[in-house]
Structure 1
Amino acid sequence: MGSTGESGIDQVTGKVADLGRDIGEYIKQQRASAKISLRQLSKLAGVSNPYLSQIERGLRRPSAEILQQIAKGLRISAEALYVQAGILDVVEGGPLVDAIRADEVLTERQKQVLLDVYESFRRENAASQGSDVERAPESQEG
């Protein structure tokens, strides 16, 4: 059991302590780059100033709902915060996937359909070329 194998429960428990700090740091960085004060973000996100401060310092782990409110306040995709918080797995794919996920006009359903179509094309091309295109974030142009 003490091996480096990936036991689901052991893996999750080992990461829980770092997740609060990681997401807090990420939110703080995003807030700084957006040039928004803690108080402003608190008002925009509808989250109390002390609670937001505790999240940024890694003392509290926000729920998915709170992360969504914070993302809206920062004007970034909730998915970015979910990935950072360990709620969603990182989806590889490069700038196209990032652009689709960040688009505020598309619904979550529309984003997922676009990503599914994109991934199906990548798998189809990988199979026809006999190579592992899925591991490479950049695909051939043209």
Structure 2
Amino acid sequence: MEKVADIASDIGEYIRQQRSNAKISLRQLSKLAGVSNPYLSQIERGVRKPSAEILQQIAKGLRISAEALYVQAGILDLPTGGPVGDAIRADAELTERQKQVLLDVYESFRRENSASRPVAESAATPKTTAPGAEDPEDTTKESA
């Protein structure tokens, strides 16, 4: 039960931090998210753990990805992406929206490169000739 309280506290703190970064008052966010002011206050203080639906509404009000809130709330596992993705997610100087855009661009480059890799590798693979066989492109041998 202690773990649930920690998660509620963590998500509340995270929401408060995002609200503060966006320079939105508690009252403004409650209107944007369509949740009552007291309920949002309880979430931020860690008294209540919001449902996925409420988190989605709050994310919409904060203009951040719902996935970011789901990860913070323990609903979703932190996506893998290696050290670059981890560094982007950990950067406190970036907003959630900026982080998501960077991650999307990075992943699109990775997908593009992995899709083109088999073609590039086959072109770069050195040609091998069976042992003892003559290479028809070998012009160093003199013909008799």
Counterpart position of 2:43: 55
Q: Does 1:68 align with 2:56?
A: yes
- The corresponding residue for 2:67 is 79
| Paired residue type of 2:100 | D
Separation in structure 1 between the aligned mates of residue 16 and residue 74 of structure 2, nearest angstrom? 17
Aligned length: 101
Residues 97 and 75 (structure 1), Cα distance of their counterparts in 2 relative to 1, 3 Å cut: closer
* Partner residue in 1 for 2:31: 43
Paired position in structure 2 for 1:6: none
User: 2-side partners of 1:102 and 1:72: how far apart?
Assistant: 19
Change in 2 beyond 3 A, CA 1:40/1:100: same
Q: 1:14 to 1:57 in 2, by over 3 A?
A: closer
2:94 — aligned with what?
none
User: Is 1:99 matched up with 2:101?
Assistant: yes
Distance 1:46 1:37 in 2: 14
Unaligned runs of 5+ in 1: 1-12, 104-113, 129-142
What CA distance in whole angstroms lies between the structure 2 residues aligned with 1:102 and 1:39?
32
Bigger Rg, which one: 2
**What is the root-mean-square deviation in Å for CA atoms of aligned residues?**
3.2
Identical-residue share of aligned pairs (%): 69
CA distances 1:30-89 after superposition (whole Å, capped 9, x unpaired)? 000000000000000000000000000000000000000000000000000000000000
Shift of 1:99: 2.4
Cα separation, 2, equivalents of 1:98 and 1:16: 27
Moved >3 Å (runs of 4+): 95-98, 100-103
1:97–1:16 Cα change, 3 Å: same
1:102, 1:77 → 2: CA distance? Answer: 12
**Kindly tell me: are residues 17 and 33 of structure 1, through their superposed partners in 2, closer, same or farther at Cα, counting changes over 3 Å?**
same
**TM-score (normalised: structure 1):** 0.60
Measured at CA, do residues 92 and 98 of structure 1 come closer, stay the same or move farther in structure 2, by a change above 3 Å? farther
Please report how far the alpha carbon of residue 15 of structure 1 lies from its aligned counterpart in structure 2 after TM superposition. 2.5
Unaligned stretches of 5+ in structure 2? 89-97, 122-144
Q: Which amino acid is the alignment partner of residue 40 of structure 2?
A: L
